[in-house]
Amino acid sequence: MKNNNNEGITILGAGAIGCYLAGCFYSENISVRMLGRHWFHNELARYGMTIVHHDGRRQSFAMNLLDYQTDASMLSGSNLIIVCVKNTDLPEAIQQIKSYAPRATVISFLNGLESVDTLKKELPEADIVGGSVAYGVNYLGRGEFKKTTEGCLHLEASTSLKPWLSVLDKALGKSRLHDDIQAVLWTKLLLNLNNSINAISNLPLREQMRYRKYRKLWADCIREGLDVMSGFGIQPVDIGTRIPLEKMPYILDLPDILFRIVASGFLKIDARAHMSMWVDIQRGKTTEVDELNGKVIRFAEQLGMKAITNQKIYDQIKGLESLEKAE
């Protein structure tokens, strides 16, 4: 799996998305290292790693072909670091980069709106590039990582990326470059508001999407987010979804029978798939709700507005966090 021309690429935060991206590099015979948690390391040690693309293609890699480590010192020598950690783990990731690769080019694939600015502030010697993964990946167990929706990567147009674009495009597909990455991050945030609703439903994602009451919650959260975007003069960006963000609330509001006809693509999801916030709740971990619904609430307040549905969802997630931690 070694290709000396492309050494120095590291994925920091090799969970579901990070492992899928790594598998894409390996499938093109491009060397990549992964830094992640012991839990995922143990899973890969037992089962190896299989990535499943949205079209159903499968590619498998034995553990001896993978470079998955849990000690941050492995970041030494990294020239390109692709950060896929949760926002709750960003302070730790920053310290790791500071200690072992302070001058690397760093691509941020974190959810939320402020991680890029935080990285730029805390890592002044690094070249920081904002980005967004406009598709979902689920870990289905037994070393299998499945891309659950269509979509591509979106990256901030930056001169720092020029040396890396060809290898990134070869491994991960053609990326879309944007002068205004904040508009992309806002668009992705609103799409990601279903993350918390999936956790509340306690249902697999495909099953959740069959119920209008949950879709309506998502639609109302998106509407509130669109009002906030408009208040700040930010326009949604086409990030490759079949239905434009502005039209999505109307589609989600449709009666169940019509929704299954008009938006059948929403239901082409692995029956086992859950969103990441549901996984966090089950494991008793702090979720990213502050970076999702919480951000809509905060920015709405800055505009003198209320995000009533987002507040309702936010409060329920905080209640679930407290309950799981108490148990």
Predicted TM-score (pTM) of the model is 0.94
pLDDT at 24: 97
Radius of gyration of the chain (CA): 19
pLDDT at 274 over 80: yes
Task: State how beta strands 80-83 and 9-12 pair.
Answer: parallel
Percent of residues, the chain, with pLDDT higher than 90:
88
pLDDT at 266: 79
pLDDT at 4: 34
Helices (H) and strands (E) in the chain, counts: 14, 12
Question: 3-state DSSP call for residue 311?
Answer: helix
Look over the chain and give the mean of its residue pLDDT values, rounded to a whole number.
94
Query: 155: which strand partners?
Result: 131, 177
Instruction: Quick: pLDDT tens for 178-223.
Output: 999 999 999 999 999 999 999 999 999 999 999 999 999 999 999 9
Percent of residues, the chain, with pLDDT higher than 70:
97
Query: 58: which strand partners?
Result: 52
pLDDT at 72 over 80: yes
Identify the residue whose tokens are 């209640």: 319
Instruction: Quick: pLDDT tens for 141-167.
Output: 999 999 988 889 999 999 999 999 999
Cβ-based neighbours of 43, under 8 Å, separated by 6 or more: 141, 142, 143
Contact between residue 110 and residue 121 where contact means Cβ atoms under 8 Å apart: no
Identify the residue whose tokens are 């505009």: 303
pLDDT at 83: 98
Instruction: Quick: pLDDT tens for 25-51.
Output: 999 999 999 999 999 999 999 999 999
pLDDT at 5: 40
pLDDT at 15: 96
Q: Average the pLDDT over 92-114 and give the result.
A: 97
pLDDT at 150: 83
pLDDT tier, 2 (very low <50, low <70, confident <90, very high otherwise)? very low
Task: State how beta strands 127-133 and 153-156 pair.
Answer: antiparallel
pLDDT tier, 268 (very low <50, low <70, confident <90, very high otherwise)? confident
Identify the structural domains of the chain with CATH numbers, from first to last. 4-179 (3.40.50.720), 185-326 (1.10.1040.10)
pLDDT at 325: 65
Residues 4 and 30: their CA atoms lie apart, in Å, by 9
Q: Average the pLDDT over 227-235 and give the result.
A: 97
Instruction: Quick: pLDDT tens for 276-285.
Output: 999 999 999 9
pLDDT tier, 324 (very low <50, low <70, confident <90, very high otherwise)? low
pLDDT tier, 271 (very low <50, low <70, confident <90, very high otherwise)? confident
